[in-house]
Amino acid sequence: MKKIVSFILVFCLIASIALSFAGCSSKTKLFVYNVGDYIHPDVVSMFEAENPDIKVVYEIYDSNEDMHMKVSSKASPYDVIFPSDYMLEQMIDEGKINKLDFNNIPNAQNVDANMKGFSFDPNNEYSVPYMWGTMGILYNKKMVKEEVNSWDILWNEKYKGNIYMLNQERDMVSIALKKCGFSMNSDNDAELKEAEKALIEQKSLVKAYCGDEIKDNMINGGAALAIVWSGDAYYCINQNPDLAYAIPSEGSNLWFDCMAVPTTSTHKAEAEKFIDFMSRPDIAKLNAEYIGYSTANEKAKEMFDENVKNDKQRYPDLSEDFLEKMEVFSYNKKRNIKLTEIWTRVIG
């Protein structure tokens, strides 16, 4: 169903882009580049209705890496992009992101203060957080009778052949690091070695290392345990009430998708206007409802029903205790290649 909807959306977008060229006028063109299915379908036209002199050209990408490549190639003068934390850090490092003028983005103050100041943008100069979430364990309550509160359960012989892991070296190594009691961003060779050993030890228990297929397979009861991101967990639980999501007590990954303006932008003021619009509580709420992820916009969250607001899976208490255990992935070129080498040794 979701696929069909997104298909129709893509079609509409392409059609609207084509139309926009047909009716070429003196309007300012604003190039918005977002992940697929990551905005309420009406929001763009609402923005255009409020800003009649701006025409939004909306394009979508599959992954941060695709976006990075396209923006770097300067193929199109994108004005607003939606990078994840580590990609934002990398692009800031490469000098590809503009500093924002927050006078143009008064609604940025609606963003939860807890969501600010993370390592990818320590002084909140470059980005406005859009969605956020955690990485954790999705499990089937019918197959897992015990309490899930530790990464150790993924190393439990009982669940041999019943565990889905991600096919992503960074995420998997960081889980193993956390399990061994180290930082998820550790660059220490001895600690990485220990994580590698743990992953090799776990390999015989794992049913498969994959990506998006995990969601469907978990909904169909294909396995007992899986690694997922909180937004996907919420989607899966909606489809199959036997599923539940847990963030291990050792701590896990905390991720953010942000809005930013790349240096290729030729309409920075309009781009900031768009980011401001997206940060308006009513619009942020529309988007969060449609996407199903947790919004970083506190005012928007306040507008939700009690049962959503208090849903500890979608909106965990951002207590100091919690934040201390959670880690945001940081960008480190040299470490990335170490991770690749570890991963080829684990899988190869």
Partner 1 sequence: MYKKSLSYPHLVWMTLFVVAPMIIILIYAFTTGSDDGQVYFTLENFVKFFDKTNVKSFFNSIWVSFISVAVCFLLGYPAAYILADKDRRRTMAGKKPTGLLMLFIMPMWMNVMLKLYSWLAILNPGGLLHSFTSMLGLPDIDIMNTYTAVVLGTVYDYIPFMILPIYSVLIKIDTSVIEAAQDLGANPLKVFLKVVLPLSLPGIVSGFTMVFLPALTAFYIVDFFGGGQFMLIGNVIERYFSNELGRNIGSSISIILMLFAFLSMYLMRFFNKSNRQMSKF
Which of residues 210, 237, 244, 323 is near partner 1 by CB under 8 A?
A: 210
Asked if 193 touches partner 1 (CB under 8 A), the answer is no
Q: Which stretch binds partner 1 (CB under 8 A): 5-13, 133-141, 217-225, 239-247?
A: 217-225
Tokens of 141: 């309550």
Which of residues 55, 96, 178, 207 is near partner 1 by CB under 8 A?
A: 207
CA distance 265 to 312: 38
- Cβ atoms of 203 and 348 within 8 Å: the answer is no
Q: How far is the CB of 297 from partner 1 (least distance, A)?
A: 32
Which of residues 79, 85, 169, 171 is near partner 1 by CB under 8 A?
A: 169
Q: Which residues of 310-322 are buried (b: 16+ CB within 10 A; e: fewer)?
A: eeebbbbeeeeee
Asked if 348 touches partner 1 (CB under 8 A), the answer is yes
Asked if 209 touches partner 1 (CB under 8 A), the answer is yes
Q: How far is the CB of 206 from partner 1 (least distance, A)?
A: 7
Q: What is the 3-state secondary structure (H, E, C) of 268-319?
A: HHHHHHHHHHHCCHHHHHHHHHHHCCEECEHHHHHCCCHHHHCCCCCCCCCC
How many CA atoms are closer than 13 Å to the CA of 109, on its beta-carbon side?
Answer: 4
- Which has the closest alpha carbon to 91: 273, 258, 296? 258
In the complex with partner 1, the residue whose CB is nearer, 141 or 345, is 345
Asked if 308 touches partner 1 (CB under 8 A), the answer is no
Which x/- pattern, by CB under 8 A, does the window 62-81 give for partner 1?
---x----------------
For binding to partner 1 (CB under 8 A), which residues are involved? 65, 165, 167, 169, 203, 206-210, 213, 217, 220-222, 333-334, 336-337, 340, 343-345, 347-348
